[in-house]
Amino acid sequence: MKTLITNIGELTTNVVSGDDLCGTLRDAAVLIEGGQIAWVGQASYAPSANNIVDADGRAVIPGFVDSHSHIVFGGDRAAEFEARMAGEKYAAGGIRSTVAATRGASEDELRARMRGFIDEMLAQGTTTVEIKSGYGLNIDTEERLVRLAAEVTPEVTFLGAHVVPAEYADRADEYVDLVVGPMLDACAAHSKWIDVFCESGAFTVAQSRRVLEAGIASGLMPRVHASQLRPGDGVQLAIDVGAASIDHGTYLTDADVAALAASDTVLTLLPGVEFSTRQPYPNARKLIDAGVTVALACDTNPGSSFTSSMPFCIAVAVRDMGMTPGEAVWAATAGGAQALRRTDIGAIAPRMRADLVVLDAPTRVHLAYRPGVPLVDSVWKDGVRVIGGQS
Ligand code: NIG
Ligand code: FE
């Protein structure tokens, strides 16, 4: 079966062309075959196909790659958000209340909730999602979380070192022993990534290094939560261990920025966190101009960022972080792919997975220009139209 999406008014390929990061083509067409992109070019030169889809001048972009989420959890923290909007400060300790609710939820409840978030994300154009554990913090529950996550994505991250659970209060090193020992043994087979929250109030640099090195020794690849609440040494640690991404980076030092620019570690910015914790937005303009590779992700979780909307994050990144619409869309697609070290997604080019979004808009700029407006016309995942009209 060959499907041709034609009459595309603006196609974002992410195949850099001159100074156009987005590799924009106008009056374009895309041929899909066997779940992959088979051809991309001017509509008037398109090869023949048995299934023709008329995009009617709409814009088409690669499916969003949301490289940071925590969507397997129980409970809700709306009251904490409400208190924060009335002046309370965000603190990582709130994670423990979600841990209690997650331990108390059944496997079926956790699965149904997680699948609901996946559906919600797909409807907003997200075709790849990374999912972290981290709300179990004991062997059985962490194993359950990574196993459930692996049902819906290959991008599973073991985050047993999210915070020190209450039963290990004042015994953080003993908790790290558990994480790098039997908990990692139980979780590694379901996981691709190892992560740690390297921040005061969570884990020290020395503890974080132990966690990352143990994960690497078990065949996992590193990524790191750091510099969310204050500057720290987590960014340097992430670069030292060859992390694919350091996530948050709300409080970076000049030395962090220079080190990131000289590394192949992606900086994943999470605008939903600053939005819902009332922290200052990082200056993405300055970071990009310094040569840092920036990705955007939602960080969907019940505490610091309960949005699953990549268009929302793009709008905030453009409005408040100094990114151009093209940079923000690139960061939410190709940037996310780079943060996951994936070379088969994040662009519309031959041999890439056929994951793409038809926007109900003439240009990708509308993602920031029309904030809060649902602009997804249809979504294609692995060459199949999963949202929108019949394929
Ligand atoms: O990525 N930084 C640590 N973890 C989450 C927050 C989790 C929570 O507050 O429940 C994050 O923001
Ligand atoms: Fe996170």
Distance 196 CA to ligand 2 centre (A): 9
Look at residue 172 and give its three-state secondary structure. helix
Distance between CA 119 and CA 162 in Å, rounded? 26
Question: What pLDDT is recorded for position 17?
Answer: 87
Distance 293 CA to ligand 1 centre (A): 22
Question: What pLDDT is recorded for position 148?
Answer: 99
- From atom 8 of ligand 1, which residue's Cα is the shortest distance away? 303
pTM over 0.95: yes
Question: What pLDDT is recorded for position 93?
Answer: 78
Task: Categorise residue 84: left if φ over 0, alpha if ψ from -120 to 50, beta otherwise.
Answer: alpha
- From atom 5 of ligand 1, which residue's Cα is the shortest distance away? 304
Distance 91 CA to ligand 1 centre (A): 9
CA angle 334, 132, 118 (to 5 degrees): 70
pLDDT in tens, 319-364: 999 999 999 999 999 999 999 999 999 999 999 999 999 999 999 9
pLDDT above 90 covers a percentage of the chain that reads: 98
Look at residue 154 and give its three-state secondary structure. coil
- From atom 11 of ligand 1, which residue's Cα is the shortest distance away? 304
Residue 53 has pLDDT above 70, yes or no: yes
Ligand nearest to the CA of 102: 1
Exposed/middle/buried for residue 382 (C-beta within 10 Å: 0-12, 13-18, 19+)? middle
Structure tokens at 79: 């009251």
pLDDT in tens, 235-262: 999 999 999 999 999 999 999 999 999 9
Minimal CA–CA distance to 338: which of 253, 237, 243? Answer: 243
Minimal CA–CA distance to 194: which of 235, 141, 155? Answer: 155
Cβ–Cβ < 8 Å for 159, 212: no
- End-to-end alpha carbon distance in the chain: 11
Question: What pLDDT is recorded for position 91?
Answer: 85
CATH architecture of 65-339: Alpha-Beta Barrel (3.20)
Distance between CA 275 and CA 166 in Å, rounded? 28
The fold for domain 2-62+347-387 equals Urease, subunit C; domain 1 (2.30.40)
Look at residue 104 and give its three-state secondary structure. helix
Ligand 1: nearest atom to the Cα of 303? 9
Question: What pLDDT is recorded for position 389?
Answer: 77
Ligand 1: nearest atom to the Cα of 225? 2
Ligand 1: nearest atom to the Cα of 135? 10
Q: Ligand 1 pocket: which residues have CB below 6 Å?
A: 92, 94-95, 98, 197, 225, 228, 273, 299, 301-304
Question: What pLDDT is recorded for position 373?
Answer: 98
How far, in Å, are 15, 41, 52, 289, 347 from residue 29 at the CA level?
A: 15, 6, 10, 33, 14
Question: What pLDDT is recorded for position 42?
Answer: 98
Distance between CA 13 and CA 252 in Å, rounded? 31
Distance 222 CA to ligand 2 centre (A): 14
Confidence band of 313 (pLDDT split at 50, 70, 90): very high
Ligand 1: nearest atom to the Cα of 228? 2
Cβ–Cβ < 8 Å for 1, 53: no
Distance 158 CA to ligand 2 centre (A): 12
* Tally of CB atoms within 10 A around 264: 12
Residue 132 has pLDDT above 50, yes or no: yes
Distance between CA 324 and CA 115 in Å, rounded? 32
Confidence band of 92 (pLDDT split at 50, 70, 90): confident
Distance 71 CA to ligand 2 centre (A): 10
Sequence-distant (≥ 6) Cβ neighbours of residue 177 within 8 angstroms: none
Ligand 1: nearest atom to the Cα of 94? 9
Residue 2 has pLDDT above 90, yes or no: yes
Question: What pLDDT is recorded for position 142?
Answer: 98
Question: What pLDDT is recorded for position 390?
Answer: 56
Distance between CA 172 and CA 190 in Å, rounded? 25
DSSP 34: T
Question: What pLDDT is recorded for position 391?
Answer: 46
Name the residue of 135, 228, 246, 248 whose CB sits within 8 Å of the most ligand 1 atoms, as the mutation to test its pocket.
Answer: 228
Distance 310 CA to ligand 2 centre (A): 15
Name the residue of 193, 225, 277, 306 whose CB sits within 8 Å of the most ligand 1 atoms, as the mutation to test its pocket.
Answer: 225
Distance 15 CA to ligand 1 centre (A): 33
Q: What is the mean pLDDT of residues 125-133?
A: 99
- From atom 3 of ligand 1, which residue's Cα is the shortest distance away? 197
Structure tokens at 326: 């093209």
Residue 192 has pLDDT above 90, yes or no: yes
Look at residue 13 and give its three-state secondary structure. coil
Look at residue 201 and give its three-state secondary structure. coil
Name the residue of 80, 95, 250 whose CB sits within 8 Å of the most ligand 1 atoms, as the mutation to test its pocket.
Answer: 95
Domain boundaries, the chain: 2-62+347-387, 65-339
pLDDT above 70 covers a percentage of the chain that reads: 99
Cβ–Cβ < 8 Å for 102, 146: no
Ligand 1: nearest atom to the Cα of 159? 4
Distance between CA 125 and CA 63 in Å, rounded? 6
Distance 152 CA to ligand 1 centre (A): 21
